């Protein structure tokens, strides 16, 4: 993923003094709500555009600048505190593009009169800044940023924040500064607990952290997480840090903070790094932006700092922000819009899924009109209503989701969401015994979709059996599930409209060929809930035969990578339900083994027969890609030209490797075909080995002909 400039839209246009005054009032109120409780009426993108508009107006009309304007002030000038900071706790200025970053870096070097020694690059965490004061290693006080000069005492939250220990590993006296936030898991738990106690759900994790940090008299407690990003010595009262702590590079200082037991971003996928050039900084920004959807916590940008204390001192600070640090803002992935309706769709397995219909909103470079709602229980827990203003989240290629309603914006005109009483597809009863509702007819409710999926290219790959032909077979009473495909006769097909001898023979040949597909594809064709192409391949490689899969209990299934307790139970239940279909497929001569895979029992027996009782043998013969993580990008050529991406992934896994869709430090090999773009660039940055399709085919040698 390439990190695009974060400017989502032009700054708000303020045509006259009246519009300017109204904008200042709106921005000030929004900032006050944002920093006090997190319940701002504006999302971050709307607030940024408004403040940029205010700044543009003031640049054009400097004599009209209002004294309460949010520009040039910490926290927009909307927050005050009563606990003085030992050193001002400033905000950061922003840049929104690579060009602006280069210009800022050049200005820092002009200010200090020489090149910056090195840059520190770290994630900009989406939470609330606090100062944690330690005396002789004991946590004694927590203070919010406030207006930068003084903040609010929130020491009552001590003991509820993961990563901020009550005692440090050494009896030092210092102040650690960082961000308090809720991880995605903490946010979900907090909303569950809050709903159970009759409170409205938090709109997003930052809103949850802001409200929780200041809450003193709640009947419940929820956790938050701290990430340290700075530290400074305090007047000593006992043992102290080294006298030269203030001269340490920022990176060394944060390593020491982590050594003391304080949580930093060092152990995350977006760990801080020190880099020598702005070009390297830009590459790291790209990396962090690509990792954003996978993170367990929210970030809204990347912070770039001059690492050495001497460079920081030479660059100095303004009244609002240091001149030696900047925030590179990432594209907004979270915005507020209106929930217009809820649609209820039935999937090919009979699962009934709600989908939110939204007032269109631009997020992360695309227009979002729909969002996932998971299940009815999720709707109830989030207390969603038609007409709600809702916080919608989208990052990268992830399907947009509604985090929660913005409850404080409700007008009273919102309406309850009506749940279906019968299946929206066929009118049958609904099984509501589990969180995800399902039509009692199961796969028969969407028979055409189920059979079409099974016949698809990445499953049984039956050429000539598209949805139109499946409808014809179902309407003629010839197919009630996809096992019936293998019992079709030439006479039955010739009796159908638009089925001549050639098309009939071709279809029968394609169906006959499907009998020889590997187990992984047959299992995928079953459409077991909670599994897809990759999971089906992992299950088939682990168990080797359908009999072993069917004999496995939930505990045995959890030995497969990516299968947890709940998914294991679902797979076991699904296989019981699908037993008659599997039996009919077996009777029809459909292959039920995975080439090259060894059943777990045979693997264990082989290990017991080995010398000295060594480690168990692998579940399959070691191939040329054994232990390697391989990413394929671009158009394949030569011997690989006709393989679909799914077939490439199958080939990789049969050769002992693991297929992946994104380049990371864990990537062993990138197969880069024609048109390879950002993935090739990232592989070059990480030093990942890259090969052409022809080189990859040569690496597999005879294995390609045997297994492709």
Higher pLDDT, 514 or 641: 514
User: What CATH number does domain 17-77 carry, 1.10.287, 3.40.1710, 3.40.50, 1.10.3470?
Assistant: 1.10.287
Instruction: Write down the pLDDT at residue 44.
Output: 67
> Would you give the distance in Å from CA 432 to the centre of its chain?
29
Give yes or no for a contact between 57 and 17, defined as CB atoms under 8 angstroms apart: no
- Name the CATH architecture for the domain at 519-613: Orthogonal Bundle (1.10)
Report, as an integer, the average pLDDT of 137-148: 91
Cα 606 to Cα 560: distance, rounded to the nearest angstrom: 20
Instruction: Write down the pLDDT at residue 238.
Output: 42
Give yes or no for a contact between 517 and 463, defined as CB atoms under 8 angstroms apart: no
* Helices assigned H by DSSP within 181-228: 184-196, 205-214
Q: Which of 524, 529, 555, 553 is nearest to 539 (CA)?
A: 524
Q: Is 491 exposed, middle or buried (0-12, 13-18, 19+ CB in 10 A)?
A: exposed
Give yes or no for a contact between 202 and 191, defined as CB atoms under 8 angstroms apart: yes
Residue 696 has pLDDT above 80, yes or no: yes
Non-local CB neighbours of 343 within 8 Å, separated by 6+ positions: 354, 355, 357
Cα 213 to Cα 215: distance, rounded to the nearest angstrom: 6
- Residues designated as active site: 124
Least confident of 64-68, 229-233, 287-291, 672-676: 64-68
Instruction: Write down the pLDDT at residue 617.
Output: 36
- Whole-angstrom CA distances from 225 to 154, 158, 237, 263, 568 are 15, 12, 28, 8, 30
> Which letter, b or e, does each residue of 651-688 get, where b requires 16 or more Cβ atoms within 10 Å of its Cβ?
bbbbbbbbbbebbbeebebbbbbeebeebbebbeeeeb
**Element containing residue 244 per DSSP (H, E):** none
> Would you give the distance in Å from CA 597 to the centre of its chain?
32
Q: pLDDT category, 33, cuts 50, 70, 90?
A: low
Report, as an integer, the average pLDDT of 203-212: 86
CATH 2.40.50.140 domain locations along the chain: 335-393+410-431
Higher pLDDT, 16 or 386: 386
CATH 1.10.150.20 domain locations along the chain: 442-514, 519-613
Average pLDDT over the chain reads 85
Helix (H, G, I), strand (E, B) or coil at 404: strand
Read out DSSP for 332-349? P-EEEEEEEEEEEEE-TT
Interaxial angle between packed helices 44-60 and 17-36, expressed in degrees from 0 to 180 and rounded to the nearest 10: 140
Residue 654 has pLDDT above 80, yes or no: no
Report, as an integer, the average pLDDT of 5-34: 69
Residue 75 has pLDDT above 70, yes or no: no
Residue 334 has pLDDT above 80, yes or no: yes
The number of beta carbons lying within 10 Å of the beta carbon of residue 352 is: 23
Structure confidence by residue, pLDDT tens digits, 109-123: 999 999 999 999 999
Helix (H, G, I), strand (E, B) or coil at 231: strand
- Kindly report whether the global pTM for this prediction surpasses the value 0.85: no
Cα 592 to Cα 571: distance, rounded to the nearest angstrom: 17
CATH number of 90-329: 3.30.470.30
Report, as an integer, the average pLDDT of 97-101: 93
Residue 612 has pLDDT above 50, yes or no: no
Report, as an integer, the average pLDDT of 15-25: 79
Give yes or no for a contact between 364 and 333, defined as CB atoms under 8 angstroms apart: yes
Residue 52 has pLDDT above 80, yes or no: no
Kindly state the percentage of the chain with pLDDT values over 70.
88
CATH class of 442-514: mainly alpha
Give yes or no for a contact between 338 and 389, defined as CB atoms under 8 angstroms apart: yes
**DSSP letter at 80?**
-
Q: β-strands 430-431, 438-439: how paired?
A: antiparallel
Q: pLDDT category, 647, cuts 50, 70, 90?
A: confident
What's phi and psi for 145, nearest 5 deg? -65, -40
Give yes or no for a contact between 373 and 379, defined as CB atoms under 8 angstroms apart: yes
Structure confidence by residue, pLDDT tens digits, 550-605: 999 999 999 998 888 888 998 999 999 899 999 999 999 999 999 878 887 655 45
The number of beta carbons lying within 10 Å of the beta carbon of residue 424 is: 15
Cα 236 to Cα 144: distance, rounded to the nearest angstrom: 22
Give yes or no for a contact between 133 and 143, defined as CB atoms under 8 angstroms apart: yes
Instruction: Write down the pLDDT at residue 141.
Output: 94
Location of structure tokens 């995605």: 184
Instruction: Write down the pLDDT at residue 543.
Output: 94
Residue 383 has pLDDT above 70, yes or no: yes
Residue 35 has pLDDT above 80, yes or no: no
Q: pLDDT category, 34, cuts 50, 70, 90?
A: low
Q: Does domain 335-393+410-431 have CATH number 2.40.50.140?
A: yes
CATH 1.10.287 domain locations along the chain: 17-77
- Whole-angstrom CA distances from 418 to 211, 341, 342, 415 are 30, 10, 8, 9
Cα 336 to Cα 311: distance, rounded to the nearest angstrom: 40
Instruction: Write down the pLDDT at residue 105.
Output: 96
Instruction: Write down the pLDDT at residue 254.
Output: 94
Report, as an integer, the average pLDDT of 343-366: 89
Q: β-strands 119-125, 94-95: how paired?
A: unpaired
Residue 7 has pLDDT above 50, yes or no: no
Q: Does domain 629-707 have CATH number 3.40.50.10190?
A: yes
Cα 607 to Cα 142: distance, rounded to the nearest angstrom: 57
Q: pLDDT category, 244, cuts 50, 70, 90?
A: low
The tokens describing 213, both together, are 């940090």
- For the ranges 206-210, 406-410, 489-493, the maximum mean pLDDT occurs at 489-493
Residue 2 has pLDDT above 90, yes or no: no
- Which residues, listed in sequence order, are joined to residue 659 by a DSSP beta bridge? 630
> Would you give the distance in Å from CA 539 to the centre of its chain?
24
**DSSP letter at 486?**
G
């Amino acid at each position: 993923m390439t990190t695009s400039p974060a400017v989502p839209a032009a700054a708000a246009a303020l045509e006259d003094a009246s519009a300017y005054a109204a904008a200042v009032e709106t921005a000030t109120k929004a900032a006050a709500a944002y920093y006090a409780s997190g319940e701002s009426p504006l999302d971050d993108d709307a607030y940024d555009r408004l403040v940029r508009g205010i700044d543009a107006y003031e640049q054009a009309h400097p004599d009209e600048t209002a004294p309460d304007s949010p520009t040039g002030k910490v926290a927009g000038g909307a927050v005050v505190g009563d606990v003085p900071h030992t050193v001002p706790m400033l905000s950061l200025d922003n840049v929104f593009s690579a060009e602006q970053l280069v210009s800022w870096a050049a200005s820092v070097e002009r200010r200090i009169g020489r090149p910056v020694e090195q840059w520190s690059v770290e994630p900009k965490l989406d939470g609330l800044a606090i100062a944690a004061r330690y005396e002789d290693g004991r946590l004694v006080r927590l203070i919010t940023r406030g207006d930068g000069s003084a903040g609010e005492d929130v020491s009552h939250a001590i003991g509820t924040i993961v990563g901020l220990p009550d005692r440090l590993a050494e009896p030092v006296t210092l102040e650690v500064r960082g961000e308090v936030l809720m991880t995605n898991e903490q946010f979900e738990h907090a909303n569950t607990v809050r709903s159970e106690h009759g409170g409205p759900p938090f709109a997003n994790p930052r809103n949850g952290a802001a409200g929780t940090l200041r809450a003193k008299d709640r009947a419940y407690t929820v956790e938050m997480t701290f990430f340290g990003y700075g530290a400074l010595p305090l007047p000593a009262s006992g043992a102290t840090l080294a006298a030269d702590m203030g001269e340490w590079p920022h990176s060394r200082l944060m390593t020491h903070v982590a050594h003391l037991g304080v949580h930093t971003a060092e152990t995350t996928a977006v760990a801080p790094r020190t880099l020598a050039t702005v070009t390297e900084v830009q590459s790291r920004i790209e990396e962090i932006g690509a990792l954003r959807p996978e993170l367990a916590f929210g970030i809204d940008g990347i912070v770039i700092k001059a690492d050495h204390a001497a460079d920081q001192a030479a660059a100095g600070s303004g009244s609002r922000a240091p001149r030696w640090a900047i925030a590179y803002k990432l594209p907004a992935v979270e915005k507020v819009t209106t929930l217009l309706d809820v649609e209820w769709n039935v999937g090919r397995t009979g699962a009934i899924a709600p989908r939110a219909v939204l007032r269109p909103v631009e997020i992360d470079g695309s227009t979002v009109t729909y969002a996932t709602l998971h299940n009815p229980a999720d709707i109830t827990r989030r207390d969603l209503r038609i007409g709600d203003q809702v916080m919608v989240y989208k990052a990268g290629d992830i399907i947009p989701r509604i985090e929660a309603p913005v409850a404080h914006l409700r007008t009273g005109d919102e309406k309850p969401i009506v749940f279906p009483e019968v299946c929206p597809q066929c009118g049958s009863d609904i099984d509501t015994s589990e969180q995800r509702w399902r039509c009692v007819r199961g796969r028969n409710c969407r028979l055409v979709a189920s059979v079409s999926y099974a016949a698809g290219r990445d499953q049984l790959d039956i050429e000539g059996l598209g949805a139109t032909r499946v409808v014809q077979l179902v309407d003629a009473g010839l197919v009630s599930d996809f096992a019936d495909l293998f019992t079709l006769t030439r006479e039955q097909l010739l009796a159908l409209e638009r089925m001549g001898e050639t098309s009939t023979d071709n279809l029968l040949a394609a169906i006959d060929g499907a009998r020889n597909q590997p187990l992984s594809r047959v299992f995928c064709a079953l459409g077991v809930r909670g599994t897809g192409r990759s999971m089906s391949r992992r299950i088939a490689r682990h168990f080797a035969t359908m009999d072993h899969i069917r004999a496995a209990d939930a505990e045995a299934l959890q030995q497969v990578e990516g299968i947890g307790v709940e998914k294991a139970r679902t797979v076991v239940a699904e296989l019981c339900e699908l037993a008659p279909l599997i039996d009919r497929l077996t009777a029809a001569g459909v292959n039920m083994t995975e080439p090259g895979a060894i059943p777990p029992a045979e693997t264990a027996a082989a290990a017991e027969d080995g010398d000295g009782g060594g480690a168990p043998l692998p579940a399959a013969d070691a191939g040329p890609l054994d232990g390697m993580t391989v990413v394929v990008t671009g158009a394949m050529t030569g011997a690989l030209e006709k393989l679909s991406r799914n077939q490439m992934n199958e080939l990789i896994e049969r050769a002992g490797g693991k297929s992946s869709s994104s380049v990371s430090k864990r990537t062993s090999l990138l197969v880069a075909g024609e048109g390879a773009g950002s993935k090739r660039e990232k592989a070059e940055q990480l030093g990942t080995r890259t090969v052409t399709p022809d080189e990859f085919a040569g690496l597999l040698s005879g294995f390609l002909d045997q297994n492709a």
